[in-house]
Structure 1
Amino acid sequence: MSLKDAALAVRENAHAPYSKFKVGAAIRSASGAVHAGCNVENAAYPEGTCAEAGAIAAMVAAGETELTEVYVVAGSPQPVPPCGGCRQKLAEFGKADVVVTMATVDGTEMHTTIGDLLPGAFGAAHMEEP
């Protein structure tokens, strides 16, 4: 299954009763497997989960820790970039040159990279003792 197809399919399962804004994300891991996630809202708004975070959680639950491609789709007039928290999550599991495709359900796509989404990302190297 393509990342686009996986993201579009999982988007339909989003739990978005408050915002009505469904998002689907699919990532390809280093093994080539596709992992998908959708946004899951909660009445206590800060407790919800973004689609990208759900896809990453599915990848890690499957025993993998490196992503090689990302696709995010939403029902919006223009492609929606990942939020700041998800940019950091993507940077945790993907290299700076990993392609991130942002899309609308109508098929408009924009392409960027994790490094362009989060320049100067905080990473494990910052936590090393001198």
Structure 2
Amino acid sequence: MREIRLFELDPGQTVFWRSPAAERPQSLQVLQGLLWLTVEGEHADHWLSAGESFEIRGGQRVWLGTWQDGARMRMSQPAKLLSSSTRHRALRIGLPLSWRSIAARIASRTATRFSRG
């Protein structure tokens, strides 16, 4: 599961965004308008238009601003990936349950056919 947040900036508005250091990268995607983005420590600014995205790393400090029309953007984090041991354990637990479910359906169908004669 992942969290997705939508934001709108009014025309000429500038805001500060800080990604917590412990978090995984966040993806910022511009949905509408033109977004000006300044990352602390970088010499160049970024200009993103609708459809473009930028990855904000954990601990980065970013200033976001708009031009004349404002902007709408989406901020999301990638889904957490299961570790291989967790995935393997889930598969071991889930496989017998799915086979039991299939066996129960086959038994139910067979019993229905025999009861019809």
Structure with bigger gyration radius: 2
TM-score (norm: length of structure 1): 0.26
Higher relative contact order (CA 8 A, sep 6+): 2
- Of Structure 1 and Structure 2, which has the larger fraction of its residues in strand? 2
TM-score (norm: length of structure 2): 0.28
